[in-house]
Structure 1
């Protein structure tokens, strides 16, 4: 089984920043859809210091072949210098849902 689709995760410090990233990625057809979850508690090491805080998790669904473009978009528009951007394969899903992702993330053709 190959993973033609991925779920991409990132996080932001505010809900508004997560909504802006989700909207820009979906409008650009880099993701078919996104869910924003939060606030969530995050525990981490950052610049050599232990910390914790609240974040808003953003989960985006896309085709595996669109990941590189989605990552570049998230990096360019993310408020953090080095955000978490990770992808996990979607190994199975309902055919109509996966077709929706495939169709929705098709790059727009220039006229």
Structure 2
């Protein structure tokens, strides 16, 4: 199973469409502090052609392929585009900021 990190979407809305396979989306509350275990508050399995929406007012989320043998493909659209996000350690709530890379920005190849 391929798992994404628990992450935010700073100042951006995220629309996600499942193009192939099944994807589990788990929602988390913001950590209560450093050293506090994060708790999954809800999860759903998204099937092909289903759409999900996420922003920081909803909380944090993690996306993962539910299959160990079948490929899952999802399309993520960020409005406005984002160039960084924060990832969170589920056991400690520790936050790390990461830089995001793109093949293009505003239609121009980077």
Q: TM-score, normalised by structure 2?
A: 0.31
Q: Which has the higher strand share?
A: 2
TM-score normalised by structure 1 residue count: 0.31
Instruction: Judging by fraction of residues, say which structure has more helix.
Output: 1
